[in-house]
Amino acid sequence: MQSFSLRCLHFGYSQKEIAMTYSEEKMAMFVALLEKHTPEEGLNVTAVPDLITYRNSSTLEKCASVYEQGIVILGQGKKYCYVDGQKYDYSVGNYLSLYLPMPIDVEVIDASPERPLLMAGIKIDLIRIANILMKMDQAGQQPTPVEPLTPSVIFSKPVSKDLLDAVIRLLLTLDNPVERAVLGDSILDELYFRLICDDQSGSLQRLLQHRGQVQQISKAVDHIHNHMDKVVSVNELASLANMSTSGFRKTFREVMHMPPLQYAKSIKLNQAQTFIREGKNASEAGYLVGYNSPAQFSREYKRHFGFAPSATVAMA
């Protein structure tokens, strides 16, 4: 049987047209798989533990949210996210990478019931990526030279056909439990390999080179997430990270794009919103994320989301 490229050449397509046609064919397959495996509005958990899918059938004005660490690849629609005033575009053809949980503002600008926004999210393990990088080094692969800039745990890049192909094959395992059990981990390793190979700007390698700093900050991040009902201080977080208070403030701001207490407040308020949507009242939700004063909680909640806790369910 002739290859896809040979068949296209036979019908008079140029190499550039072949590449475009192949990419369009792959993206159409990606969207079809997302349609199949994203039956519910919002987040859908899949049989692959590190893979989720997401559907949104309407546009959404800019609002506060929290994204877990991972990569997000859009198949259909258009979405922006904002961190510290910087806009990240992950429309079709781009993916967004986050290497620690991040409070972000999101805006859906292209979605409808007839043509919903569809995307896949894959949880990322930095240690696993570092192991793949080490194997590449042992095999003689030279890393891309990078500028000694500050590491960042968030960036947006164009998705390559090799990366998209790996994601498609991971989605295909959802229809075959045997393939999922046998091939799932190897496809994830390939996905990490593709992320490294596509890292022409050096963003990921820069992050891995500063892994010690990132791990220190991640201890503080983990503490915030695991002690939602506790009041946190910069001194306490700096001590957990084994850093001076001034050094911790500076490094946290560089890596996470916001001061530590602003990060903690955003995480707590977003968790409180989840509690309210699950049926808890505002006072209870505030208490569960460390607010002893209902008035202060209501005030900060409205400032963060743009509406009062009592309006949360209506705004969902």
Copy the structure tokens of residue 181: 């059990």
Range of the domain at 99: 42-209
pLDDT band at residue 2, thresholds of 50, 70 and 90?
A: very low
Instruction: Provide CB contacts within 8 A for 33, sequence distance 6+.
Output: 168, 171, 172, 174
Residue 4 pLDDT: 45
Between 268 and 316, the more confident residue is 268
Q: What is the CATH number of the domain that holds 87?
A: 2.60.120
Query: What single letter denotes the amino acid at residue 299?
Result: R
Which DSSP string corresponds to 231-265?
---HHHHHHHTTS-HHHHHHHHHHHHSS-HHHHHH
Centroid of chain to Cα 260: 20
Task: Look at residue 255 in the predicted model and tell me its pLDDT.
Answer: 82
What pLDDT, on the 0 to 100 scale, is given for residue 217?
A: 87
Q: Is residue 4 part of a domain?
A: no
- Does the structure show a pLDDT above 80 at 3? no
Buried b (16+ CB within 10 A) or exposed e, 190-201: bbbbbbbebbee
DSSP code at position 115: S
Q: CB within 8 A of 79, min separation 6: which ones? A: 90, 91, 106, 107, 108, 109, 110, 117, 119
Among the three residues 209, 239, 266, which one is the final residue of a domain in this structure?
Answer: 209
Which residues make beta-bridge pairs with 223? none
Maximum average pLDDT range among 50-59, 199-208, 254-263: 50-59
Domain end marker among 155, 184, 209: 209
pLDDT of residue 216: 85
pLDDT at residue 213 in the model:
77
Work out the pLDDT band at 205, boundaries 50, 70, 90: low
Q: Which tokens sit at 190? A: 């390939």
pLDDT at 151: 57
Asked if residue 247 and residue 188 are part of one domain, the reply reads no
Q: What is the CATH number of the domain that holds 218?
A: 1.10.10.60
What pLDDT band is residue 197 in, cutting at 50, 70 and 90? Answer: confident
The domain tally of the chain equals 2
Residues 29-53: what's their mean pLDDT?
95
* Residue 168 and residue 65 in one domain: yes
DSSP string for 119-145: EEEEE--HHHHHHHHHHHHHTTPPPPP
Distance CA 119, CA 171 (A): 12
> 126 lies in a domain?
yes
Residues 160 and 244 in one domain: no
In DSSP terms, which residues pair with 98 in a beta bridge? 70, 154
Q: pLDDT of 119-148, one tens digit each?
A: 999 998 877 777 777 787 778 766 555 454
Mean pLDDT of all residues in 58-67: 89
Average pLDDT, the chain: 84
> pLDDT (tens digit, 9 = 90+) per residue, 147-193?
544 556 777 888 889 999 999 999 999 999 999 999 999 999 999 88
**Does the global pTM surpass 0.85?**
no
Same domain for 172 and 138:
yes
Residue 268 pLDDT: 95
- Write down the pLDDT at residue 10: 47
Once rounded to an integer, what is the mean pLDDT over residues 300-304? Answer: 93
**Does the pLDDT of residue 286 top 80, yes or no?**
yes
Report the percentage of the chain scoring pLDDT > 90. Answer: 53
Mean pLDDT of 267-283: 93
How much is the average pLDDT of 262-290? Answer: 94
Tell me, yes or no, whether 7 lies in a domain. Answer: no
Could you tell me if residue 191 is inside a domain?
yes
Residue-level pLDDT at 11: 44
Q: How far is CA 212 from CA 142, 173, 209, in A?
A: 22, 35, 8
Q: Are residues 62 and 197 in the same domain?
A: yes
Question: Within a domain: residue 10?
Answer: no
pLDDT at 18: 41
Say which residues have a Cβ less than 8 Å from residue 291's Cβ, sequence separation at least 6.
268, 272, 297, 300
Q: How many CA atoms lie within 13 A of 170 on its CB side?
A: 27
